[in-house]
Amino acid sequence: MRRTLLYALLALAGLVTVLPLLYMVSLSLQTEAETLAADAVLVPDSPQWGNYAELFTRAPFGDFIVNSLVVAGAITLAHLLFDPLVGYVFAKFRFPLRNTLFVALLATLMVPFFVRMIPLYVLMANLGWLNTYQGLITPFLMDAFGIFLMRQFIQPIPDDLIHAARIDGASELRVYRSVILPQTRPALAVLGLFTFVFQWNEFLWPLVATTTPEMRTIPVGLTLFNQEYFTLWHLTAAGSVILFVPTAVLFVLTQRHFVRGIALTGLK
């Protein structure tokens, strides 16, 4: 009895989660007439794969995809490069102002993006970086969360390993690259996945910082496409599927890392 109730609750939650997403896929394969039919069409008569091609002729959707890949990819690489390095310094080095700098770093966690939005816009306008890749990428090159995560992960690595490598004559950069970095691989996987997915989905800054369709990322390009062609729901849905599939595939392949990563963020 109790089991049945539990399954019913979970099944209901599962359906509410999945049905809208399935409808999005179905919508992307309908004809324009089907999307508006008084008798709601849930499964299209014959899947209109041509919708996906039509999307590319109505909007520079190829550009959107390239832009999203470049921006999310570059930001993810920067995080993988800098977050563990900075985390290592705060975990293993003693130096003047160390605690002050660490507090100054953690304080940035309290600064939501909207606080930086207007000054960053002005800064980018002055640099001539609006509507450029560097304008979209640079505000997100590092963040305190990623650095903190890596510091927590590096701290338990025994100091003796580092000392031994130094005595063997390894340079500081080499100690980092061949002693520290290989041990952080699981944490790097989590960091890379989260960074990529969140940047792939980022909405507000690409909306603010782009001025021509050719520079838009998929979420912004798609939303503004929908404002322009608000009756062409089958095409909006096709664009949504394109935006959705990479993160969904990435997630299903790595869901263990994701779940562990989320649980990790909840620990103090």
Residue number with CB closer to another protein (53 or 172): 172
Q: How far is CA 132 from the centre of its chain?
A: 19
Tokens 């969360």 correspond to what residue? Answer: 145
Q: Is residue 204 within the footprint of another protein (CB under 8 A)?
A: yes
Q: Is residue 37 within the footprint of another protein (CB under 8 A)?
A: yes
Q: Is residue 133 within the footprint of another protein (CB under 8 A)?
A: no
Closest separation in Å from C-beta 113 to another protein:
7
| CA 203/CA 218 separation, integer angstroms | 9
Contact present, 219 and 202 (Cβ < 8 Å): yes
Q: Is residue 40 within the footprint of another protein (CB under 8 A)?
A: yes
Closest separation in Å from C-beta 114 to another protein:
5
Q: What are phi and psi of 135, to 5 degrees?
A: -65, -35
Binding to another protein (CB under 8 A) within 229-248 occurs at: 233, 236-237, 240, 243-244, 247-248
Part in contact with another protein (CB under 8 A); list of ranges 17-25, 54-62, 150-158, 179-187: 17-25
Binding to another protein (CB under 8 A) within 157-196 occurs at: 172, 176
**Helix/strand/coil (H, E, C) string of 148-172?**
HHHHHHHCCCCHHHHHHHHHCCCCH
Q: Is residue 210 within the footprint of another protein (CB under 8 A)?
A: no
Closest separation in Å from C-beta 7 to another protein:
7
Contact present, 41 and 33 (Cβ < 8 Å): no
Q: Is residue 16 within the footprint of another protein (CB under 8 A)?
A: yes
* One of 66, 69, 70, 142 touching another protein (CB under 8 A): 142
Roughly what angle, to the nearest 10 degrees, separates helices 233-266 and 144-154? Answer: 40
